[in-house]
Amino acid sequence: MGITGSSEEIYDVVGIGFGPSNLALAIALEEHGASDPQNPVTSHFFERQPEFGWHRNMLLPSTTMQISFLKDLATYRDPMSRFSFISYLHASNRLVQFVNNQDFFPTRQEFHQYLEWAAAGVSDRVSYGTEVTSIRPVTENGAATFDLLEIEVRGSDGTSRMVTTRNVVISTGLVPRLPEGVASDERVWHSSEFLSKFNSRNPEDLKNVMVVGAGQSAAEITRFLYDTLPHAQVSAVIPSYGYSIADDTPFANQIFDPDAVDDYYFGTQQSRDAFWRYHRNTNYGVVDSDVIRALHQRSYDEQVRGSQRLHFRNLSRVDEVKQAGSRTRVVLRSLLDDKTEELSVDALVFATGYDSPDPARLLGDFDQHFRRDAAGKHRVERDYRLISASELSCGVYLQGGTEHSHGLTSALLSNIAIRGGEIADSIMIRRTERELDRASSVGVAP
Ligand code: FDA
């Protein structure tokens, strides 16, 4: 389990996590290398999953993307990129039929195939089955140099090695959130593990299933369970009176535009608050209208037939989850009259969202060099680089976890093509500036 030493190469950038965000960055770097082969930026990415995967456990049949296919990994940065969704369709011999289909929003399964196809195009830059466990500055004679970073990478066999880089881009996604005191097990699942847990059970044993939450994943899972388990009672526990619609109308959708990042970043606290106050319903705790209508249609059809197995428990919350032998019991509290009710379930799915992980988890002691705002969040430059208290020539960049500084697109796909390009540019520009500084200090041309 020991550390087996460091590789010789010093990378310009190491990416932690290889979801869509760092995939978009890898593509931006690849395309820079193609356009400027004299000055390639060396990079490598580490991904803990054994192969590329984007929310695999939520690839439910018929679920669709919540962004246009044109907000892919590259098009907004470079419409001529060979990594665009249109290139993928062309390579898959489906471009013509996609156009005939007249739909801006592909299924998540198709978008996943696109992401896998793009990831395969940069596979020489990625190590799968490897988890980054820490980031720290390289030390010389016991003192930190702050020019280079040492990344500790653990392989699937448990052995660790060190990798050296000038910059690191942390893009580790979100962490599933369960209510306090609730732990996931064979019958209690978070939506992020839905399909693997569902597939591990015999459908015949799932006679009473319950889904908790009022957002997109909750509604999609409720619909899936109802359609897949025709013998089951399906309950949806929602804290509101009913599902609320996701606003994806054109003016509201502008908050996901690349320019909106500047408006948010350079805006006043009041304007930032307005983004959240007026536009939270574009993404948080809301559901696409087609899914809402599909669920209501099923419920109405039951009323026409006079038989009910789809139960909406609105204005309700889960108070407690108890294990009783081979059963799980759930205590529900109604917000209407504060009364509680205890029910037995064969599966309980919490579609209760995600939290942003604090980069301090990876940075350890090194984190003390980075500035935080009054709310305790990291201060981040416009180019997504963490702001340090003292001058560091190595860079730590964030993709994700920057809602407080860069706004609503931080954890979404809408802006990943542009953001990946901005981070790639920042790394190249800062590298050139360092080389010029070094050259002028020794009096030679770079
Ligand atoms: P993402 O979470 O995808 O990837 C992070 C990667 O880092 C993971 O592969 C993880 O294994 C890896 N990792 C974590 N820690 C690591 C470590 N220490 N070492 C190595 N690897 C590590 N947004 C949108 O705009 N439109 C949409 O339609 C949707 N749809 C959607 C559906 C569902 C079901 C969910 C849950 C979310 C969405 N989203 C979305 C939002 C979603 O956050 C977004 O689609 C991307 O997943 C963001 O990509 P990232 O690469 O930032 O994170």
pLDDT in tens, 162-188: 999 999 999 999 999 999 999 999 999
Residue limits of CATH 3.50.50.60 in the chain: 3-174+356-442, 176-246+283-354
Return the bridge partners of 378, or none: 372
Q: What is the pLDDT of residue 175?
A: 96
Q: What is the pLDDT of residue 309?
A: 98
Given CA atoms 286, 291, 293, 299 in this order, what sign does their dihedral have? negative
Whats the size of the chain, residue-wise?
Answer: 446
Contact 396, 363 (CB under 8 A): yes
DSSP 3-state assignment of 202?
coil
396 vs 143, higher pLDDT: 396
Alpha helices in 122-215 (DSSP H): 194-199
Parallel, antiparallel, or unpaired: how do β-strands 354-355 and 395-398 relate? unpaired
CATH of domain 176-246+283-354: 3.50.50.60
Report the separation in Å between the CA atom of 371 and the middle of ligand 1, taken as the mean of its atom positions.
26
H or E stretch at 8: strand 3-16
Task: Give mean pLDDT, residues 201-210.
Answer: 97
> What is the percentage of the chain residues whose pLDDT exceeds 90?
88
Task: Give mean pLDDT, residues 270-282.
Answer: 95
pLDDT in tens, 374-394: 999 999 999 999 999 887 899
pLDDT in tens, 336-384: 999 999 999 999 999 999 999 999 999 999 999 999 999 999 999 999 9
User: What pLDDT band is residue 1 in, cutting at 50, 70 and 90?
Assistant: very low
Structure-block tokens of residue 142? 């016991």
CATH of domain 3-174+356-442: 3.50.50.60
Region for residue 223 given its phi and psi (left: phi exceeds 0; alpha: psi -120 to 50; beta: otherwise) = alpha
Name which residue sits closest to atom 19 of ligand 1, judged by CA: 131
Return the bridge partners of 313, or none: 237
Residue to substitute in 412, 414, 418, 419 for testing ligand 1 pocket (most ligand atoms within 8 angstroms of CB): 412
Q: What is the pLDDT of residue 5?
A: 56
Closest-lying ligand 1 atom to the alpha carbon of residue 256: 25
Has residue 8 got a pLDDT over 70? yes
Alpha helices in 280-380 (DSSP H): 289-305, 360-363
Report the separation in Å between the CA atom of 401 and the middle of ligand 1, taken as the mean of its atom positions.
12
Parallel, antiparallel, or unpaired: how do β-strands 327-334 and 395-398 relate? unpaired
Task: Give mean pLDDT, residues 255-276.
Answer: 96
User: What pLDDT band is residue 445 in, cutting at 50, 70 and 90?
Assistant: low
> pTM score, two decimals?
0.96
Give the residue among 403, 353, 380, 404 at the shortest CA–CA distance from 174.
353
Has residue 3 got a pLDDT over 80? no
Report the separation in Å between the CA atom of 395 and the middle of ligand 1, taken as the mean of its atom positions.
22
Parallel, antiparallel, or unpaired: how do β-strands 347-350 and 188-190 relate? parallel
Has residue 202 got a pLDDT over 60? yes
pLDDT in tens, 74-118: 999 999 999 999 999 999 999 999 999 999 999 999 999 999 999
Residue type, 410: S
Task: Give mean pLDDT, residues 24-51.
Answer: 93
Report the separation in Å between the CA atom of 54 and the middle of ligand 1, taken as the mean of its atom positions.
6
Cα 11 from Cα 163, distance rounded (Å): 8
Average pLDDT value over all residues in the chain: 94
Q: For 24, phi and psi rounded to 5 degrees?
A: -65, -40
Q: What is the pLDDT of residue 36?
A: 83
* Ligand 1 site residues, Cβ closer than 6 angstroms: 16-22, 46-49, 54-55, 58, 65-67, 131-132, 171-174, 217, 399-400, 411-414
Report the separation in Å between the CA atom of 72 and the middle of ligand 1, taken as the mean of its atom positions.
14
Structure-block tokens of residue 341? 């009710």
Non-local (6+) Cβ contacts of 216 within 8 A are 66, 246, 286, 287, 288, 291
Cα 236 from Cα 208, distance rounded (Å): 11
What are the CA-CA distances from residue 412 to residues 65, 270, 276, 406, 417 (Å)? 11, 23, 15, 12, 11
